[in-house]
Amino acid sequence: MAGVAPGWFAKRSQRARTLLVGAVLTAALIGVGAAVPIPYVALGPGVTYNTLAAVDGRQVISFTGSDVPAPARNPAGPGHLNMTTVSVYPDLSLFQTLGLWLTGDYAPVPREEIYPPDKTVEEVNKENTLQFSDSQSNAEIAALRYLKYPTVVYVGPIPAGSPSAGVLQPQDQITRIDGVPITDIATLQRSLAKSLPGQVAAVTVVRAGKSIDTKVKLAANAKIAVHGFLGIQPLDRPKAPFQISISLANIGGPSAGLMFTLGIIDRLTSGGLTAGRYIAGTGTMEVDDSKGTVGPIGGVLLKMIGARNAGATVFLVPSDNCP
C-alpha cells in the first residue's frame, strides 16, 4: 500500500515548524491589533481659544447695540483668558490607543463613558452643543450680575394646567402686577402676598419688544402659602441695554462658563484682568444664586496639558477639582 508523501510543513524541523506557527500567530495578532477597533476612546488635550481675541476673523465675545460701553468698543488688551477643551478620539485600534497612551498626554477610557449605549453619537453631540449654549447664557448672567446691571424678571417654565398657560409665554418679561413694578423675584412675591386664589391679577409683560397687558386668574398652592399664584417658575436675571454674542464653532459641553464670564467682564470694564499674562482655565458657571458658582469639570489634567502647550503660565481650576 503506497503511503502519502509528507507535506512541505511536515518536512520542516520541529524548530522551524514552531517558528512558522509563531510567526503566523504573531502576524494575525498584529493585524487584529492594528485594524480592529476596541471599545475604548482616547481623551487628549484639545484646542484652546482666547476669549478676548478673534477666531477665524470673528471676535469670540462681541457686543451690539446703541449703548455698548466704551471699553467693549475698543480692542482687547494683550492678555489671554483662554477656555480649554478635551479632544475625543473614537474608533481606535488597540495599537493606536496604546501609542497615544504611551505619550503620557492621552487617557483611554471605556467608550460608554463618553457615548452611553442608550444614545447615538448624534444625540450625545446635540446634548454637548446645548450645554455649551447654556454655558454662554450663564456666563452672560453671571458677568452682568457682577457688574450690577439691573435685574428683570422673566417667565420660566409654565406647567400644564397652570392659570398662566395660554396667557403668558416663557421668556415674557414681567414688568408689573396690579400696577406694582416688578424688578426681581422678591418684588414679584410681595406683589402677590396679599392676593387670594381665584382673584384676577393684571399682569404687564414685555414680549418681543412690545408691552402687553393681560389678566391671569390666580391659582392656589396650599403646600407653599395661602395667597394666589401665577403658576409659573419665575426667573430673574440682569438685563443690559446691548446684546452679547459668543461665537465659537464645533465646541460642546459646559466647562467654558468660567472663562466666558471673565472674558465678558474684562471686555466691559476699563483696564484688564490679566495684566498682560497668558491665563487659561476651565469650570462651569452656575447661576443658582446672586453671585454665581464655579462648578467642577472632567478632564482637568488634559486641559492643563493643552493650556501649557499653548503657552499659558496661569491656570484657573474649580476648587473641587484641586485634589
User: Looking at the predicted structure, is the pLDDT value of residue 109 above 70?
Assistant: yes
Q: What per-residue confidence (pLDDT) applies to 269?
A: 93
What's the pLDDT score for residue 280?
98
- Per residue in 95-106, pLDDT (tens digit) is 777 777 677 788
Chain segment 289-305, per-residue pLDDT in tens: 666 889 999 889 999 99
**Which helix (H) or strand (E) element contains residue 165?**
none
What pLDDT was estimated at residue 15?
64
| Helical ranges in 276-322 per DSSP H | 300-310
Tell me the one-letter amino acid at 172. Answer: D
**What is the pLDDT confidence band of residue 236, given thresholds at 50, 70 and 90?**
confident
Instruction: Give the chain's mean pLDDT.
Output: 86
Residue range 185-210: average pLDDT?
91
The predicted structure's pLDDT at residue 17: 57
pLDDT over 70 (residue 284)? yes
Confidence of residue 107 (pLDDT cuts 50, 70, 90): confident
Grid cell 446635540 in the structure block, residue: 126
Mean pLDDT of 191-209: 91
pTM of the complete model beyond 0.75: yes
Cα distances (Å, whole numbers) of residue 209 to 119, 238, 320: 39, 16, 41
- Residue 8 to residue 22: CA distance in whole angstroms: 17
pLDDT over 80 at 288, yes or no: no
In the structure, what pLDDT confidence band is assigned to residue 33 with cuts at 50, 70 and 90? very low
Average pLDDT value for residue range 5-30: 61
Residue with the larger pLDDT of the pair 288 and 162: 162
> What pLDDT was estimated at residue 161?
87
Long-range contacts of 90-94 (CB under 8 A, 24+ apart): 90/41, 90/114, 90/115, 90/121, 91/37, 92/37, 92/38, 92/40, 92/41, 92/42, 93/33, 93/34, 93/35, 93/36, 93/37, 93/38, 94/32, 94/33, 94/34, 94/36, 94/38
* Cα–Cα distance list, 48 to 79, 81, 93 (Å): 14, 10, 27
pLDDT at 323 over 70: yes
What is the structure's pLDDT at 100? Answer: 72
pLDDT at residue 9 greater than cutoff 60: no
Q: Looking at residue 39, what is its pLDDT?
A: 81
User: What pLDDT is attached to residue 221?
Assistant: 80
List pLDDT tens digits, range 151-165.
899 998 888 889 999
Describe the crossing of helices 257-268 and 121-146 by its angle, rounded to 10 degrees. Answer: 40
Give the confidence band of 223 by pLDDT, cuts at 50, 70, 90. confident
